[in-house]
Amino acid sequence: MIQSSIKALPSRYEPLVGLFGDGAKTTFVKQEDDLREIARLINQGNSAFQGKLQFVYSPTESGAGKTTFVHSLDLFLHDLVDSVIRVTNDNSHALNGIIETIRNSRVTEKIKIFNLDGHESFIFEDNEYRNFAVQLNTLIRNRRDLIILWPVNDLSFAEKIVSILKSVGGNSPFGNHPIHRMKGLSSEQFSSVLSGILKVANWQLEDAALDWDLVERVTDGSKNIGEYLDRVQAAIAERFNVDEIGFEPPQLIFALSSGKKEVREICRNVRRADSFYIEGSRLLMYTKRSNVAEWWKERNSELQTSLPYVIALFNTQLTSLSGSAVVHAVHNFGSDELSSFIVGVQKNLGNAQNVIKSTELYKYSIGEGADTREYGKPAKDETIHSYYKIQESSKDKHKEINSAIMQLIEKAGGGFSNARYESLEGINKGLQVDVVAELNYNSCLIEFHHKSEAETVDNKVSIYILEKLKEYAINYGITKP
């Protein structure tokens, strides 16, 4: 499951596909009237045993949804359409490139849609457009598997190309309407698109301290889906505006270690879908009768002090560390005193690097997603016993243990850099953080917790995280104690 930042929620087709790939199609909503027009055009081409061209025109500026509509055709007209191919404009001979792309495409039983989005301009001479029209007309007449759709905002451009094409091929390249005036989505459908984007992006409105009533107010009067999503995006950005909240939010990463192999599963229990992102409602589910859960429930009455918003503000992630990884880190980078707790485990830096690479903290640092699989063989009893001896000393040796882990991650090529330990953070520097480091040139705060076997349960892990998030909310001035 993809987990981007809610601050980067996409409002256009290109970033939507860039972030979510084929998953972007789950956000598409049917445009019934426009779909009927394209189905009619396809049937006209089949009846004439040749391809067809049609301009898709909208008088509004960017955001009407023309590109998204064209790329939805193989989803909503799957019985008729084999695929949708976007013809990119990546050279100075764009007209020749269009012809070559279409000509070199394989012949298919079902229709291929060629999307000429981005080729709307008067940069060529009339004779160049005429030569293009001659070649395009020949292609269309000899390929019944082609439908060419040309999204435009400039009606005069579409009319000029239609006129040139008619002069060389008559009406045969077109259906009943050479230029289709796209109706687009109705305003009642806009919220369905937003719901789809939130779902595929793995976000909820409450993460940005918004609700549907507020969205309806800020988007009232939007002329098209693009403007609607732009207004939602602006409302989200305002919630995370540095001037409004008073600080630049760092990222918060929890790293929990345990000798119990179930530590990964326990972390997954309080994360959102297949990601490292913490799910507030799951934390509260496991801590219903705790004082800290009651504290957060009181703050949930206000969108901008609620638990989901605080989690989103710090883009809070939860990762696990195996007990074996901690043992190997201490063995190679800890003091002699700390290493003396390790019995029956060979000191081997190469093996240590392999072990740390299998941990979620390491994988997150290099940009890998969460994985439901388990890695490697179960740790030996000697390794687990050594971990718990280290864990028992973590109250006094916390900084040293954390430093050993971070050094091993760095040695193994992990993504963290410039680590500082037990740094004072928060608006008034009243919050001691285990590790402050850089990840992708951004500041991140890492909170390590090395748990005993008895503490490695859903309830205790959730309480620990809620208590820490409470400290962050207070020390960064988000809410009062």
Check whether 117 has a pLDDT greater than 50.
Answer: yes
Token pair for 429:
């520097």
The reported pLDDT for the residue numbered 265 is 94
SS3 419: strand
Give 391's contacts (C-beta < 8 A, 6+ positions apart).
Answer: 257, 259, 323, 326, 450, 451, 452
DSSP assignment letter at 189 = G
Query: Is-contact 431 240, C-beta < 8 A?
Result: no
Nearest to 73 by CA among 162, 221, 180, 212: 180
* Two structure tokens written together for 116: 């000429």
What residue type is assigned to position 261 of the chain?
K
CB 147, CB 52: distance < 8 Å: yes
* pLDDT score of 115 more than 70: yes
Q: What DSSP letter does each residue of 237-250 carry, written as one string?
A: HHHT-HHHHSS-PP
Structure tokens at 163: 């006129």
Average pLDDT score over residue span 192-197: 95
Torsional sign, CA 335, 340, 343, 348: positive
User: 446-465: per-residue pLDDT in tens?
Assistant: 999 999 999 999 999 999 99
Indicate the average pLDDT of the chain: 93
Instruction: Please give the structure tokens belonging to residue 81.
Output: 């359409």
Q: Which residues pair with 447 in a beta bridge?
A: 254
Strands of the 431-439 sheet, one edge to the other: 317-322, 251-258, 442-451, 431-439, 416-425
13 pLDDT band, cuts 50/70/90, is: confident
Q: For the chain, what's the residue count?
A: 481
Is the CB of residue 300 less than 8 Å from the CB of residue 28? no
Contact 84, 73 (CB under 8 A): yes
The angle formed by the CA atoms of residues 334, 339 and 345, to the nearest 5 degrees, is 115
- Note the pLDDT of residue 88: 78
* Cα 218 to chain centroid, rounded: 24
* Residue of 143, 122, 129 lying closest to 53 (CA atoms): 143
Q: How confident is the model at residue 163 (pLDDT cuts 50, 70, 90)?
A: very high
Say if residues 174 and 141 touch (Cβ distance below 8 Å): no
Task: Give per-residue pLDDT as tens, 318-328.
Answer: 999 999 999 99
What pLDDT was estimated at residue 8? 82
Residues 375-407 have pLDDT tens digits of: 557 789 999 999 999 999 999 999 999 999 999
Tokens of residue 30, six digits: 């049917």
Radius of gyration of the chain (CA): 29
User: Which tens digit of pLDDT belongs to each residue from 221-278?
Assistant: 999 999 999 999 999 999 999 999 999 999 999 999 999 989 999 999 999 988 999 9
Task: List the beta bridge partners of residue 433.
Answer: 423
Compute the C-alpha angle 307/364/438, nearest 5°.
Answer: 85
Question: DSSP assignment, residue 298?
Answer: H
- Can you point out the beta strands (E) in 193-281? 251-258
Q: What is the pLDDT of residue 378?
A: 79
Which backbone phi and psi does 431 adopt, to 5 degrees?
Answer: -120, 115
At 64-79, the pLDDT tens digits run 899 999 999 999 999 9
More confident residue, 107 or 119: 107
**Distance, first Cα to last Cα, the chain:** 35
* Separation of alpha carbons 146 and 93, rounded Å: 22
Label residue 93 by pLDDT band (50, 70, 90): low
The whole-number pLDDT of residue 138 equals: 93
Question: Which residue, among 14, 12, 13, 18, has the nearest Cα to 4 in the 3D structure?
Answer: 18
Report the pLDDT value the prediction gives residue 91, as an integer from 0 to 100: 54
Contacts of 375 (CB under 8 A, 6+ apart): 358
Q: What local confidence, expressed as pLDDT, does residue 90 receive?
A: 58
Q: Which residues contact 333 (CB under 8 A, 6 or more apart)?
A: 403, 404, 407, 408
pLDDT category at 1 given cuts 50, 70, 90 is: very low
What sign results for the dihedral spanned by CA atoms 12, 30, 183, 233? negative
